[in-house]
Structure 1
Amino acid sequence: MAITSANQLELLQTAEAVAREKMIDPGLVVEAMEESLARAAKSRYGAEMDIRVAIDRKTGRATFTRVRTVVEEEELENYQAELTVKQAKQYMADPQIGDTYVEEVPPVELGRIAAQSAKQVILQKVREAERDRQYDEFKDRAGTIINGLVKREEYGNVIVDVGRGEGILRRNEKIGREAYRPGDRIRCYIKDVRRETRGPQIFLSRTDPQFMAELFKMEVPEIYDGIIEIKAVARDPGSRAKIGVISYDSGIDPVGACVGMRGSRVQAVVNELQGEKIDIIPWNEDMPTFLVNALQPAEVSKVVLDEEAERIEVVVPDEQLSLAIGRRGQNVRLASQLTGLDIDIMTEEDESKRRQAEFEVRTKLFMDTLDLDEFFAQLLVSEGFTNLEEVAYVEQDELLVIDGVDSSTAEELQTRAREHLEAQARAALERATELGADESLLNFEGLTPQMCVALAEDNVKSLEDFATCADWELAGGWTTVNGQRVKDDGLLEPYGIDLEEAQNMVMTARVLLGWVDPDDLVSESAEVEDDAVEAEE
């Protein structure tokens, strides 16, 4: 194929046809043609030559040119694409380093192989342009809802025509046992758009919690306008869902607005989600209160929140337990997802048994250590005393409020408690020494002899060993394994040491050992405070 006047306009017509079909810029197709023709010309004139092709956008005429660059004589390497200043003077009036000399060369005759190669270059460039166009169009649409047509199903995954591209709805992103046939209309949530080697991949979902949130945004104008905000969503796709909403206008009920007149708004969402039942719950910043709402229709008697462990304990009446848990644990599971907390549910009877067991343990502790009768020990527990330290070091006035306790009795109680604690400390000190605990560890401020025993049993026997510990190793913490929160027991956790205390103790040990400059700690603390002030402002 020769580039002659007979087929010059055909180049532009082909470029426009391809661009129209692929919905890309015709200029990109023309550039691909120029590159393919240049490659073909290089195969004819020589690969070392710098051959360039320019196609006139109006006439379609292809101009082949050879470009040579002026370089220093000692830098001349490619005689076909470079020339020295002396050589350039034959063609140019005043050549300078970096100038280019361009001369037109005859068009090439494209053989079968060259034509096929040119076609491959054009197709490759067109595919790349098409992929870039698709990615640019959809990358900012992640997190929105899109309507499409089902094209086909591959191994349970649905391929969806979304206009200028194709999306994939994986089998695990479909609701229940949804089945689609080619040509069916489908509404999906664009979960992610990624650029991959085979082109942009548009991942769709119908099970993502945000799909339901976006559906409500479409059905409820107050959500779209920002008057009502969806704070949390939890779904068991196709079965049941819970959604937490809050209104920033005191005159608008967030739950009522989402339900709509005679349930019209929520029913539209339910129909799209294949009959998924939706509980709409008023959001509350107080997490226990929000959880009580989230567990509806079950009634809750008491809630105890452990913020550090991100767990919450819920007590319900005996007859409400199955309702609170829900079928196959669905109700409590959705409430847990909604609040972001692990939930422990127990009946009032179970809680009563647990409290009774704790009461008996503490009563026995005071009976054995303070040599008290059962009645008097129960009085101490009833007043809220849980351990010997509280009895030994509490203000005496707090003991005097107990019926039958006068000053001499209170003093005797505290004396017995202190003597027992001192005896325990002496025994623990001897045990720690037997285990090989170093004096530097035994004398470290903040560590009791009992703590030193726990550390020595775990082979932490010197201040250096202690300084290498992580705060969570001492105070304990939580890690997530396979989606489940797992408790990590800390060496000093039984003695009430929390993460902040553990961190301070470890840093103090490092300062004493000279591992850390105390001035650095002061400067870091000041920076943290400044950042906190700026954040508040």
Structure 2
Amino acid sequence: MNFSEIGRVIEALGKDRGIDRDIVIKAVEQAFLVTARKKYGIQGEYETRYNPEEDSIEIYQYKNVVDEVRDSIVEINLKEAHELDEEAEIGDQLGIRIENPNFTRVDVQTARQIIFQKVRDAEREILFAEYKDKVGELITGIARRYERGNIIVDLGKADAVLSRREVIPGESFKTGDRIQAFLSDVVMTNRGPEIRLSRTSPMFLVKLFEVEVPEIQDGTIVIKSAAREPGQRAKIAVISADKDIDPVGACVGMKGSRVQNVVNELQGEKIDIVKWSDDLDTFARAALAPAEIGNIMIDHEEKQLDVVVEEDQLSLAIGRRGQNVRLAAMLSGYKVNIISKSKLQEKIQKSVENLLQIDGITDARAQVLVQGGVTALGDLTVMDVETLVGLLEVEESEAQSIIDNTMKAIDAGEINLQPEEEEELVSASATPQYVGILAGDGEHTDEEGADKFSDAERRLREELAAFKLK
């Protein structure tokens, strides 16, 4: 069988589409294998080989040697087998070359379709592998069209998708505009690889700084955490491996040139650059800048920060519509509660007054109990003697007397179990929807193992932190 076009097809597909020649040859062999099965019987066993010297496809049909032939498609008698191979025996399997397959025009057209389908599949796999290796990088393309509100971006070899929720609020692109974005994921679909881009990801911010700041590229400065509310405000935390280099100043640049380039790309998004610290108290204060912080109470088990600030610093700590506290929560990975110092002092005073109703509790002892978490008489009723002894450092008999006095006063209805109803202590609270802290490879960590930017065929949506202003 000699098709003069087969060699040209193989060469053209391999050269024009950048596909390995062996892959194209395998596609051709598979195409004619399918065609042979359809023509000669699907129950038969066939093999196809491309002969580059003759530029032809050799088709072999395998038959079992038997005494009596019941199915000529898969069996051959011993006499006919000996004509092909003198050493053939019963039970052997012979490969018989089909010298003139007599493929019709329809057969050849079917083979052609299969070849191109196989080549397209190979092309998709190549594109998938190529761009999968680029996940986590900045990529640049040209806006070509809109599909269902999503922007289709021409990357040269392939098209990428920039969905409407991954576009910075307020920005728009026209056909032909240059688009720079973060390659967040590549997913294989029925239509081929889907390359997903993002301009709202915190990692887009990180990668832009890597481009603008040479010290980040050479590893002298490391971005440890990043948080964004796209189009409005962002925070990054940086640290320097060289004590002589100021990481914040290096990222800002001469007269703010470096950070301004990033701001321009992000459509005017304001960027706060803070210094990273392994000490959470120190870092939390930096993350909440420009507010001046009084005290910070850290609960590592619950991953929560209770931040106490003066009344005049309350609005700065919370930020516009809670923005500052939300970004600080994402930057640190901890829930952040902003507490007014005056409200806290008022609550403490009311708790002390509530405890002073009991005989045996002095003002000093009431202060100690409140610091130990006893804020109302109801807490004393469920406390054991040993705990009270430890808090007040008194004899066991005296501690028991305090508890007994409390129970008697409650039974007599002479006291208030709880302090007077006061205003809510927490002025603002923010729970991080994602953790801004980056792993060593520059990707986001996830405390619960929800693998952002992983090889799983999905991407965890990076949304704004949920928050509640109280």
Instruction: Give your verdict on TM over 0.5.
Output: yes
Report which structure shows greater RCO (CA 8 Å, sep ≥6): 2
Q: Please give the residue correspondences for 1:72-87 in structure 2 after superposition, counting only pairs within 5 Å.
A: 79-82=72-75
Q: Which moved more, 1:89-98 or 1:315-324?
A: 89-98
Matched, 1:149 2:142: yes
Q: Please give the residue correspondences for 1:336-347 in structure 2 after superposition, counting only pairs within 5 Å.
A: 336-347=329-340
1:417 paired residue among 377, 380, 402:
402
**Structure 2 CA distance for aligned equivalents of residues 228 and 130 of structure 1:** 40
**Structure 2 CA distance for aligned equivalents of residues 199 and 158 of structure 1:** 17
**Structure 2 CA distance for aligned equivalents of residues 333 and 395 of structure 1:** 36
Q: Which residue of 1 aligns with 2:251?
A: 258
CA 1:288–1:356: 2 relative to 1, 3 Å: same
**Structure 2 CA distance for aligned equivalents of residues 91 and 98 of structure 1:** 15
Q: Which moved more, 1:285-294 or 1:53-62?
A: 53-62
Aligned residue for 1:380, secondary structure, equals helix
Matched, 1:393 2:392: no
Maintained 8 Å contact 1:34/1:55 = yes
Aligned residue for 1:141, secondary structure, equals coil
Matched, 1:20 2:15: yes
Deviation track 1:164-220 (CA, whole Å, cap 9, x = no partner) reads 222111110111132222222211111111222321221111111111111111222
**Structure 1 CA distance for aligned equivalents of residues 25 and 220 of structure 2:** 51
Instruction: State the 1:103 CA deviation.
Output: 2.8
Instruction: State the 1:107 CA deviation.
Output: 3.2
Identity of paired residues, percent?
A: 39
Q: Which residue of 1 aligns with 2:261?
A: 268
Deviation track 1:44-79 (CA, whole Å, cap 9, x = no partner) reads 333333343333235422333323356x989x9965
2:309 paired residue among 316, 334, 342:
316
CA 1:83–1:347: 2 relative to 1, 3 Å: same
**Structure 1 CA distance for aligned equivalents of residues 70 and 345 of structure 2:** 92
Q: Which residue of 2 aligns with 1:382?
A: 367
Q: Which residue of 2 aligns with 1:530?
A: none
Q: Please give the residue correspondences for 1:95-110 in structure 2 after superposition, counting only pairs within 5 Å.
A: 95=88, 100-110=93-103
**Structure 1 CA distance for aligned equivalents of residues 42 and 396 of structure 2:** 104
Q: Which residue of 2 aligns with 1:193?
A: 186
Q: Which residue of 2 aligns with 1:360?
A: 353
Deviation track 1:263-300 (CA, whole Å, cap 9, x = no partner) reads 22212211211111110111111212211111111111
CA 1:78–1:109: 2 relative to 1, 3 Å: closer
Q: CA RMSD in A?
A: 3.3
**Structure 1 CA distance for aligned equivalents of residues 101 and 347 of structure 2:** 93
**Structure 2 CA distance for aligned equivalents of residues 97 and 228 of structure 1:** 77
**Structure 1 CA distance for aligned equivalents of residues 336 and 170 of structure 2:** 30
Q: Which moved more, 1:243-252 or 1:58-67?
A: 58-67
CA 1:69–1:206: 2 relative to 1, 3 Å: farther
Deviation track 1:223-257 (CA, whole Å, cap 9, x = no partner) reads 22222221111000111100011112211111111
**Amino acid paired to 2:16:** E
Maintained 8 Å contact 2:334/2:432 = no
**Structure 2 CA distance for aligned equivalents of residues 222 and 110 of structure 1:** 66
Q: Please give the residue correspondences for 1:130-141 in structure 2 after superposition, counting only pairs within 5 Å.
A: 130-141=123-134
**Structure 2 CA distance for aligned equivalents of residues 325 and 300 of structure 1:** 12
Maintained 8 Å contact 1:68/1:83 = yes
- Higher helix proportion: 1
Instruction: Point out the structure with max Rg over C-alpha.
Output: 1
1:116 paired residue among 109, 115, 138:
109
Maintained 8 Å contact 1:55/1:61 = yes
CA 1:348–1:84: 2 relative to 1, 3 Å: farther
Normalised by the size of structure 1, how large is the TM-score? 0.67
CA 1:153–1:420: 2 relative to 1, 3 Å: same
**Structure 1 CA distance for aligned equivalents of residues 27 and 391 of structure 2:** 89
**Amino acid paired to 2:256:** G
Q: Which residue of 1 aligns with 2:215?
A: 222
Aligned length: 403
Maintained 8 Å contact 2:64/2:94 = yes
Deviation track 1:454-509 (CA, whole Å, cap 9, x = no partner) reads xxxxxxxxxxxxxxxxxxxxxxxxxxx9959xxxxxxxxxxxxxxxxxxxxxxxxx
Instruction: State the 1:130 CA deviation.
Output: 0.8
CA 1:327–1:99: 2 relative to 1, 3 Å: farther
**Structure 1 CA distance for aligned equivalents of residues 76 and 101 of structure 2:** 24
Aligned residue for 2:225, secondary structure, equals strand
**Structure 1 CA distance for aligned equivalents of residues 408 and 87 of structure 2:** 103
Q: Please give the residue correspondences for 1:334-483 in structure 2 after superposition, counting only pairs within 5 Å.
A: 334-364=327-357, 367=358, 371-372=359-360, 377-384=362-369, 386=374, 387=380, 389=385, 393-394=389-390, 398=393, 413-414=398-399, 416-417=401-402, 419=404
